[in-house]
Structure 1
């Protein structure tokens, strides 16, 4: 079966095998190049004028009778693409084969020899000329499946010197043993490699050591978070490029011998390649630390980078001090104003590592860096008047913070006004409206000047609570305009305001119960009585009314008791709406009062 299999594997193929270049990871210390043949052929003394190109399967070398029961004597030729290999860096080159002879006790006798290019004209009778000395192999292992290695360093160096694109190699049994079947060999299928080792220079010392967002410096602090450190890498060996790997370790400043390595990863960016790893800041005790990095290319280490210091600090700074001339803290009286921009000076309150402050709202605001002494100055305009809180947060180098709630009282020189009472004027048919004026206590306003509808200007004095209730001249029903302004003791006016309010003097109405207001009762032809009471009885002469059933305005005189009685007999059932107003002797008419009743 072995003989039949090998006969089948020696069929000729017309397709060239592709050259495969494998640059193995440098950290595994593999050869820089591990080349498979771009060309394979063998010649046979039994067919001296033909060549078998690109055979598949195990390759026979020397004398063998296992192919087709005939005696064959064969030699094998390989071509390896060596473009790109730097002669100046060449350290060694080895052809590696495997011996798959079935008889593990057979003696071994092989050689490998560089040759000139193997062309289509080369055969057993016309072999390519030798291009270097024959090299005897080193056999590794014993018995079957031995590893066979030939040192072709000199041959490769010569090929590179003449700028050959391929290294051509003949593998055969030496003449003295080539005709002896005992020395025939079989070379393992697809197990032919040219391994090239180059001289290696160690990687460069890592540079640009840095943290997540800052270059390495003695001022880097962290509180309660893990953080990533980085180191840029480079290597003088660039063809082929070594696969680089970082080593990063950190240690307490007080115990440099206690070093801890971190798991590292590789990255690349605009500056090239870099290594990085995470330092577990969350679990480290407070104190000073340092870290450094070095690079490994699989064969040599770079020098360690410069040490990078960092500090783990979980202690918050002191609550900052805050002061302002325009807006002092908790003043006895309001200061400044909503349009006033105050200057605020903040300080570290004894802390030595404050780097900045944030001021404004409780959960946000504007950041300002601290001066070398830890102080800072900023401008701020309060968001409102009266009691206001300015939040100032101090931050140390590790991001720890302390917050100050600064209480201000912002001066408000505005006056608010609204109606609190409307009563009949006993001297006329009008209405006396009382306005409620309020100002900020301590604002400096002592009086309010006001007028209604551009008429008489009056002045009222605020009480100690900043409040005064003041009447307006008698007014008729409807919309009216009120204008007012606050004054201080010097008579300075602040913020004139104009607003509008309504005077309502509609009468009230009561039912005798036959037809309840907003209710139902009585019946068609049954009389009911509604008593109308004017809001202001002074000068009231009559009441006029109309209904939704009869729009005619009916006048009813006011009785001696100041009230008018409407006697009403419905002519139909259902809902009826009443519209009632009072007429006065001076010709005025009150606000209309409306209501409904339902006739059963």
Structure 2
């Protein structure tokens, strides 16, 4: 391809047009054009290796290495070359070198550098590697272990090369010199790297500047701020790039004291910490910046003012209800005036008379007035707080006052508020009115929506009236008093209940299988009969006639355990029904107890259940399963117990219920027992439990599936193997392998199988194996305070794996410092000992590993020593 052809293609990709005849490029659009990008491929790449100083690795397949890949001096550096001729005359703002990582050794081991070097060719080797000229980019550890999309900004190097008409640019990758010999910093990068050339338009100038949602104020105080301050602006980018607002603010009186903040998104916002700002007026401005670093013009300055001084607690005044004194009365409205108490910028108040907080705006003088009408007498209060322009809140003012009680009091012996046993429909009752203010001469009263009436008061201001309720239910008697001057009190609302349901009397504690008699007395006129029933059997009702006085007796037999709520209803001569009276009974239901003996959880194995009853004269138990309630069995009572056997036919969840019956045929309440039946085998091992060691042992299997002929087992999710069952049992010998990291967790899955190849449920047996030795000491038992400084102790090491010939140990204090370290031989049994004398009181750790003849090391173990 000719140079002219390649330039044309690049110009199309970058959104530029060729002009003239020399291949120069110029921008094709305006400043608002969209961002353009093109990727330049590498023309050559490769690496050099100090271990092969005369070998060239030109355009190798696979990734490019940097650093030392093992513990020997074996340094590797990589290089990539780009042809920049297509960029001459083309506009660009950013150039990124894409070199994604494909391998790492340590998350913290990154110290990658990019250098501009002399040319890399097919003849480049370690011995004649490219000369490093300028470091153009670097990257260290940043919390990511492997960055598949790693990039380096090489804009400066590319622009310099283009400006000096350098056609080929070679960039070298290496690990920083301080870490280049450390294998932990070794990394591989994808090959070949590429250059991403970007021409980016700057963001638009920010718009709609606001402080605490108030438009930009060029002068004056601007928005007021106390503990909350939000600076915001609308930002955008013609390329659609992620864009942020960069905010700056400073005291108007001290422009050099600048603070900055950043907000992202189209509605960018910064939140200055007002606690770090002194009270006063501030200026602020903002510019937009996109993800490529391009900036817009700066807009501003605007203003805001910080005011973190709280207003004073407000003053409260009321003529009708003076502070801490009696005034007004129930139903008498009073005016309460709130004033700023010396503060100059109060704009509103919140207040609460005990029924929720409300707000009211302050007038130009900082005052506000509210009206309150008490509905109860006695001590009351209002809590008031003041708010200033900046949102500062004052302390609360508690204003207490006493509301006079001017309403009369109303009482009635026959008709108390919640009703009484002597009242009822058509039953007259006396209501007594007593004064709540002086010189009462009369009372006006009205029952519900009835006609009003008046009664004169006696010399003591008291009056009595007789009222006969014509209907049952809730009623309201409205009463107000009038004094000698003609002044009236607010209404007293006396609410009372006329209970028309019958009064039912009789025993409340009863026994199942007995009988009782209850008496029903009417609370409505012309009662001729009663219906009564139990709530548990609404369809079974009994009816009895009433005597001339409307009273009757109710015979009841307790034959069911759910007869604990008796309901009674009266009926008058016209067929009208009273409300229902409910009498709750404490019924002794003689509930039996069900228990079991031995194993009841194995499929096909007979289980024994025991029944015990407290019921007098019990003769029989009936029992059944919830899953099959139609099939029931009985067993006679012997004394007060019985024993039955039941064999679960299959695995699953079971529930058994039982009840007792007496000689009269009355059934008790039921008891229940739930259990789960399984058929998975039992697995046990003496040797292989938590923290076993690397020595042979056995597992014992015991079948719980009827007809099991063999066991199938799988170790660590390997294939299942089979072992025959002998009388339902089998023993599996096993020698654990040496754990690769000193310890290993294992799981053994076991199931049984019948001759018909039916498998049982699976049992999983979990255990772990360690290769670490055991440690013991008579003088210093583990984690127990013992011995003392200067008191020697003997520590015995026994093997946790075969072939141990010696032990290496160290003793560390609680700060981690090593106080003793050595290797001791093992005897013919594999045991070894060492003697150690603590230098001081404290907590120490004895850390031990075993060694075999071929140099294999066991896992380590720590033994805590508490020295008195």
TM-score (norm 1): 0.42
TM-score (norm 2): 0.31
Using CA pairs under 8 Å that are at least 6 residues apart, name the structure with larger relative contact order, 1 or 2: 1
Instruction: Name the larger-Rg structure.
Output: 1
